A = this chain, B = another copy of it.
């Protein structure tokens, strides 16, 4: 299987595959005589794993960590769960921060209707004067 087919199969661009290889997330595949990369099903699984992790918001470094656990399957999986717990709490704090931000933005927006000149705009005034009550 060549890089284009693999890319289509998993739904990524070929450059992304080369990028993952370069980053050490995908093992370097064999090459044909002409230099073309040749992939196996294992590569497909590996790539799909990476993509699912990315969809879950894991960083490449975290994926690397998970892979190192996969390579040593008889450890306890405490570290895997800890990684996920960390990630969950990270996502939760992002949500909290964004909700606070939304409140702030909405109240800022409420300070102006659309019928003013920029000079008298409540939104700009609000930002300029720092009416942002944290």
| CB atoms of A127 and B91 under 8 A apart | no
Stretch at the interface among A18-26, A33-41, A109-117: A109-117
Q: Which residues 86-134 in A have Cβ within 8 Å of B in the complex?
A: 87-88, 91-92, 94-95, 98-99, 101-102, 104-106, 108-109, 112-121, 123-124, 127-128, 130, 132
| CB atoms of B127 and A77 under 8 A apart | no
The reply on A1 being an interface residue by CB < 8 A is: no
- The A interface, classified by DSSP as helix, strand, loop or mixed, is helix
- Inter-chain CA distance A95–B132, complex, in Å, is 20
| CB atoms of A70 and B124 under 8 A apart | yes
A5 vs chain B, min Cβ distance (A): 19
The reply on A52 being an interface residue by CB < 8 A is: yes
- Inter-chain CA distance A94–B72, complex, in Å, is 36
25 contacts between A and B (CB under 8 A): A49-B127, A49-B128, A52-B127, A52-B132, A53-B127, A56-B101, A56-B104, A57-B101, A70-B118, A73-B117, A75-B117, A76-B115, A76-B117, A76-B118, A77-B116, A78-B114, A80-B121, A80-B123, A81-B123, A87-B105, A88-B105, A91-B101, A91-B105, A92-B102, A95-B95
